[in-house]
């Protein structure tokens, strides 16, 4: 049994293969958190609740004269608000009398097979052959009749617990929700570090590990998208936790909009971790009989260090998240026109790029921005999704046919959520974008954001996307989104509901994606938001792959892809070989190194193939073939190992893929800093079978797994700065 309820101790235990999660109904009906960590038997955990008489820690009325019971220091599963717990709360409700009090007590619970339902937003599901259990606990605030329904689902084999909360209004008056966290986790005092992934456009998801100190620490987004600046993934680990050992917790939020992940170390050094929709700029009016659904949070605990945590998230996201068949299939090697031509192209030029790309082993040609309306620069045209016949005289279907006739698949770029003022769409519907009446609007990349909280706007996007997909045989769609939201105000909602717009935008987007993406399983959708601005699990539910960053510099990408790898499997990260000097940094990096870095994900090219020499094209052909031969399968199903940390090891960065059977591995390394008369370094491999013997492809000598992992392989001293190597190992 994955979920056990003990009537006597009123304790819930949720077991996964290697972890246990415990909570208990207190004598006054509060739901307290007991334990989360490595698996333990079904035993009594009551002693974990230690009561004290503490100054300035109020006691709830029902405790009478008992001065040792205070919500100020008890670990709570879902906090109350306004009842003497001063830590950052799980919920904030404004009651009809204006009070901001919520005191949820356990009303009832139920345990049932399968997964709870969560409507309107992406969530995880069991794959065929998997089973699991769910638990629902209702916490009722007697006075307001507001109810928080806590939902848990156990993915036993994956060591994962998913959580969400639904708020229901059972009163006859509206309740205003100002905060609803998807999960709260209270832990006892300990020496912890927190790992987050802050960044910026062109330098996303930088691995950042710092000690947890007293006070409130938060990452989040208020930009409308999950953002380049912070990622909805958070790791809490013990001080001594490394890649290979130690306890760590990972929290991920399946949501693409404003989020908050906060960690509070309180006066007694206890920890509270909250994850959910960002309460900044959020409020939702819940009418009588109505409910509000929080997005799903994913909780995972590993006793085997950070690699163990990443492997669990990778398997989960590969197997239980994305709804499209492509997620399990090899993806075509592509060439994208953006850095090759930007807006400066016509049909002839595109066909030439595609023709030469064929000689590079490319299988899919993608026409990026600039093909529609009056889109000759990024100042005009967004919203007018009709092909520009001056640039593409054969039209969309004609061009597609020509590309297909070359033996290539055809892909296209769209940015459906945006509009330029200089467009037919804006002239026809100036009220369809987010902007407050009477206030000057804020532009970003000279464009405005469509108001996806409006049904008619969503309908319009669905209809032009359907038209486009039926007009031509399109094999791949790159779904872009190139600015943060501002002036968030919807003409379709009354004043008291304007705090709902950010979230309604995200719900509108999911409705659109449900209709467009899920009804076209034959099309490969790639998520994009100026590169990695919406690199989150909710987007991965719709897109098997995401353009990881607009930064194609191979050396910068080492850090970006390193940070991304903590939560996200490399098979969802698109990476391209681009031209030299690099367009973002001006750096020169050998073609082979650019390949090695781009093959740490879904491989493609982002350059003008007509400008490559015959020799370079032949090299690119070898790269495509190597990718299909060596990487494709390992990326889809193997285990990923970080072999060095680019923030600590400045000399090289290395990683590997190991097959689940541990009989094959692919090892890659790039020299990042070269010194004269260099030290002889050895690269220690990971994840192999100690007792097995392995041979490096193309060589005769054999090494035991134990030796490769403990002594390592020599890194050739002759490698120059930015040179890279990559090799396969096979068990013999």
Known catalytic residues? Answer: 536, 616
Distance of closest approach, residue 226 Cβ to ligand DGJ, in angstroms: 15
Distance of closest approach, residue 608 Cβ to ligand DGJ, in angstroms: 15
Residue closer to ligand DGJ (CB basis): 276 or 533: 533
Among 5, 326, 21, 63, which Cα is nearest to 186's? 21
Which of these segments, 112-120, 227-235, 389-397, 526-534, binds ligand DGJ (CB under 6 A)?
Answer: 526-534
* DSSP letter, residue 88: P
When asked if residue 532 is in the footprint of ligand DGJ (CB under 6 A), the reply is no
Please state, in angstroms and rounded to a whole number, the distance separating the CA atoms of residues 485 and 688.
Answer: 47
**CA of residue 15 relative to chain centroid, distance:** 25
Contacts of 711 (CB under 8 A, 6+ apart): 682, 684
Half-sphere exposure of 666 (CA within 13 A, CB side): 23
Residue closer to ligand DGJ (CB basis): 379 or 704: 379
- Residue carrying the six token digits 């998240």: 321
Residue numbers 420-449 binding ligand DGJ by CB under 6 A: none
Residue closer to ligand DGJ (CB basis): 413 or 722: 413
Which of these segments, 302-310, 523-531, 582-590, 592-600, binds ligand DGJ (CB under 6 A)?
Answer: 523-531
When asked if residue 550 is in the footprint of ligand DGJ (CB under 6 A), the reply is yes
Count the Cβ atoms, other than its own, within 10 Å of residue 374: 16
Which of these segments, 316-324, 359-367, 524-532, 690-698, binds ligand DGJ (CB under 6 A)?
Answer: 524-532
When asked if residue 338 is in the footprint of ligand DGJ (CB under 6 A), the reply is yes
Query: Beta-strand (E) ranges in 91-232?
Result: 91-94, 105-113, 133-141, 146-155, 160-169, 175-187, 192-196, 208-211, 215-220
Residue numbers 590-619 binding ligand DGJ by CB under 6 A: none
* DSSP letter, residue 631: I
For residue 21, give the H/E element and its range: strand 19-25
When asked if residue 530 is in the footprint of ligand DGJ (CB under 6 A), the reply is yes
Q: Site for ligand DGJ (CB under 6 A): how many residues?
A: 11
Residue numbers 267-306 binding ligand DGJ by CB under 6 A: none
Q: In 517-628, which ranges are continuous DSSP H helix? A: 537-542, 554-564, 591-598, 614-626
Which of these segments, 4-12, 239-247, 525-533, 617-625, binds ligand DGJ (CB under 6 A)?
Answer: 525-533
Please state, in angstroms and rounded to a whole number, the distance separating the CA atoms of residues 298 and 432.
Answer: 35
Residue numbers 473-502 binding ligand DGJ by CB under 6 A: 480, 482
Buried b (16+ CB within 10 A) or exposed e, 269-298: ebbbbbbbbbbeebbbbbeeeeebbbbbbb
Residue closer to ligand DGJ (CB basis): 368 or 553: 368
Distance of closest approach, residue 601 Cβ to ligand DGJ, in angstroms: 15
Please state, in angstroms and rounded to a whole number, the distance separating the CA atoms of residues 526 and 386.
Answer: 21
When asked if residue 542 is in the footprint of ligand DGJ (CB under 6 A), the reply is no
Residue closer to ligand DGJ (CB basis): 336 or 653: 336
Q: In 20-142, which ranges are continuous DSSP H helix? A: none
Which of these segments, 37-45, 301-309, 499-507, 527-535, binds ligand DGJ (CB under 6 A)?
Answer: 527-535
Distance of closest approach, residue 12 Cβ to ligand DGJ, in angstroms: 45
Distance of closest approach, residue 378 Cβ to ligand DGJ, in angstroms: 6
The mark string for 199-228 relative to ligand DGJ (x by CB under 6 A, - otherwise) is ------------------------------
Please state, in angstroms and rounded to a whole number, the distance separating the CA atoms of residues 374 and 387.
Answer: 9
* DSSP letter, residue 609: G
Residue closer to ligand DGJ (CB basis): 432 or 547: 547
Among 305, 499, 531, 638, binds ligand DGJ (CB under 6 A): 531
Residue numbers 363-402 binding ligand DGJ by CB under 6 A: 368-369
Residue numbers 64-103 binding ligand DGJ by CB under 6 A: none
When asked if residue 528 is in the footprint of ligand DGJ (CB under 6 A), the reply is yes
The answer, yes or no, to whether the previous bond of 721 is cis (omega within 30 of 0) is: no
Distance of closest approach, residue 588 Cβ to ligand DGJ, in angstroms: 21
Please state, in angstroms and rounded to a whole number, the distance separating the CA atoms of residues 55 and 350.
Answer: 73
Please state, in angstroms and rounded to a whole number, the distance separating the CA atoms of residues 620 and 402.
Answer: 23
Residue closer to ligand DGJ (CB basis): 319 or 415: 415
Q: State the residue number with the nearest CB to ligand DGJ.
A: 369
Helix then strand then coil, % of the chain, to nearest 5: 20, 30, 45
Half-sphere exposure of 612 (CA within 13 A, CB side): 28
Query: Beta-strand (E) ranges in 523-596?
Result: 524-527, 545-547, 573-578
Residue closer to ligand DGJ (CB basis): 118 or 598: 598
Cβ pair 205, 197 in contact under 8 A: yes
Distance of closest approach, residue 218 Cβ to ligand DGJ, in angstroms: 27
Please state, in angstroms and rounded to a whole number, the distance separating the CA atoms of residues 202 and 210.
Answer: 23
Task: Supply angle C-alpha 466, 468, 471, rounded to 5.
Answer: 105
Distance of closest approach, residue 657 Cβ to ligand DGJ, in angstroms: 26
**CA of residue 571 relative to chain centroid, distance:** 13
Contacts of 383 (CB under 8 A, 6+ apart): 373, 418, 419, 420, 423, 424, 425, 426, 450
Residue closer to ligand DGJ (CB basis): 530 or 705: 530
Among 547, 627, 694, 703, binds ligand DGJ (CB under 6 A): 547
Distance of closest approach, residue 480 Cβ to ligand DGJ, in angstroms: 5
Distance of closest approach, residue 96 Cβ to ligand DGJ, in angstroms: 47
Query: Mapping DSSP to helix (H, G, I), strand (E, B) and coil, where does residue 574 land?
Result: strand
Residue 610 structure tokens: 């007509």
Residue closer to ligand DGJ (CB basis): 3 or 548: 548
Among 35, 413, 426, 694, binds ligand DGJ (CB under 6 A): 413
Residue closer to ligand DGJ (CB basis): 135 or 354: 354
Please state, in angstroms and rounded to a whole number, the distance separating the CA atoms of residues 488 and 450.
Answer: 10
Residue closer to ligand DGJ (CB basis): 292 or 413: 413
**Which residues partner with 702 through β-bridges?**
695
Distance of closest approach, residue 533 Cβ to ligand DGJ, in angstroms: 8
When asked if residue 453 is in the footprint of ligand DGJ (CB under 6 A), the reply is no
Distance of closest approach, residue 355 Cβ to ligand DGJ, in angstroms: 22
Which of these segments, 51-59, 349-357, 528-536, 692-700, binds ligand DGJ (CB under 6 A)?
Answer: 528-536
Cβ pair 669, 725 in contact under 8 A: yes
Please give the residue ranges that form the binding site for ligand DGJ (CB under 6 A): 338, 368-369, 413, 480, 482, 528, 530-531, 547, 550
């Amino acid at each position: 049994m994955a979920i056990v309820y003990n009537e006597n101790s009123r304790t819930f235990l949720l077991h996964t293969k290697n972890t246990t999660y415990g909570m208990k109904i207190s004598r006054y009906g509060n739901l307290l958190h007991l334990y989360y960590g490595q698996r333990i038997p079904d035993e009594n955990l009551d002693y974990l609740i230690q009561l004290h008489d503490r100054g300035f820690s109020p006691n709830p009325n029902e405790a009478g004269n008992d001065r040792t019971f205070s919500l100020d220091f008890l670990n709570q599963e879902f906090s109350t608000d306004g009842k003497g717990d001063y830590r950052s709360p799980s919920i904030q409700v404004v009651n009809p009398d204006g009070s901001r009090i919520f005191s949820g007590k356990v009303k009832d619970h139920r345990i049932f097979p399968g997964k709870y339902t969560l409507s309107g937003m992406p969530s995880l599901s069991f794959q065929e052959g998997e089973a699991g259990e769910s638990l629902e606990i209702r916490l009722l605030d007697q006075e307001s009749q507001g109810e928080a329904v806590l939902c848990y689902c156990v993915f036993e084999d994956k060591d994962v617990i998913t959580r969400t909360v639904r708020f229901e209004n059972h009163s006859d008056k509206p309740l205003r929700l100002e905060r609803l966290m998807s999960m709260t986790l209270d832990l006892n005092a300990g020496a912890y570090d927190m790992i987050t992934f802050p960044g910026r456009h062109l330098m996303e998801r930088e691995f950042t590990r710092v000690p947890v100190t007293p006070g409130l620490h938060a990452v989040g987004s208020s930009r409308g998208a999950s953002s380049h600046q912070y990622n909805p993934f958070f790791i809490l680990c013990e001080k001594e936790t490394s890649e290979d050992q130690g306890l760590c917790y990972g929290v991920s939020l399946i949501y693409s909009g404003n989020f908050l992940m906060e960690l509070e170390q309180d006066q007694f050094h206890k920890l509270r971790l909250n994850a959910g929709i960002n309460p900044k700029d959020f409020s939702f009016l819940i009418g009588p009989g109505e409910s509000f659904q929080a997005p799903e949070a994913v909780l995972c605990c590993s006793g085997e260090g950070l690699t163990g945590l990443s492997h669990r998230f990778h398997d989960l996201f590969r197997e239980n998240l994305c709804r499209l068949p492509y997620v399990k299939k090899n993806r075509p090697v592509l060439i994208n026109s953006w850095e090759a031509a930007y807006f400066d192209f016509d049909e002839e030029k595109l066909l030439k790029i595609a023709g030469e790309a064929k000689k590079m082993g490319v299988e899919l040609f993608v026409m990026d921005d600039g093909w529609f309306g009056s889109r000759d620069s990024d100042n005009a045209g967004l919203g007018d999704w009709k092909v520009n016949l001056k640039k593409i005289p054969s039209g969309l279907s004609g061009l597609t046919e020509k590309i297909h006739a070359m033996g290539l698949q055809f892909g296209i770029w769209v940015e459906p959520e945006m509009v330029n003022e200089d467009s037919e769409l804006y002239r026809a519907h100036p009220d369809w974008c987010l902007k407050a009446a009477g206030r000057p609007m804020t532009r970003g990349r000279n464009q405005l954001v469509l108001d996806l909280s409006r049904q008619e706007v969503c309908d319009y996007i669905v209809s032009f996307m359907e038209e486009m997909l039926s007009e031509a045989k399109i094999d791949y769609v790159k779904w872009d989104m190139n600015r943060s939201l501002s002036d968030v105000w919807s003409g379709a909602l009354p004043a008291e509901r304007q705090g709902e717009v950010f979230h309604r935008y995200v719900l509108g987007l999911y409705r659109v994606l449900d209709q467009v993406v899920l009804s076209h399983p034959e099309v490969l959708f790639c998520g994009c938001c100026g590169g990695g601005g919406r690199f989150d699990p909710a987007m991965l539910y719709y897109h098997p792959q995401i353009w990881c960053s607009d930064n194609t510099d191979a050396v910068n990408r080492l850090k970006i892809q390193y940070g991304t790898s903590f939560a996200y499997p490399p098979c969802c990260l698109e990476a391209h070989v681009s031209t030299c000097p690099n367009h973002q940094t001006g750096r020169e990096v050998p073609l082979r190194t650019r390949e090695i870095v781009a093959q740490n994900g879904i491989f493609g090219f982002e350059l003008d193939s007509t400008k490559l020499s015959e020799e370079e094209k032949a090299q690119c052909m070898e790269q495509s073939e190597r990718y299909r031969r060596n990487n494709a399968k390992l990326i889809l199903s193997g285990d990923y190992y970080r072999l060095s940390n680019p923030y600590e090891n400045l000399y090289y960065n290395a990683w590997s893929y190991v097959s689940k059977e541990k009989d094959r591995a692919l090892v890659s390394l790039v020299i990042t800093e070269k010194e004269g008369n260099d030290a002889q370094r050895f690269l220690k491999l990971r994840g192999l079978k100690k007792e097995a013997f392995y041979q490096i492809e193309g060589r005769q000598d054999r090494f035991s797994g134990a030796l490769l992992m403990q002594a390592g392989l020599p890194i050739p001293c002759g490698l120059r700065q930015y040179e890279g190597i990559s090799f396969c190992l096979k068990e013999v």
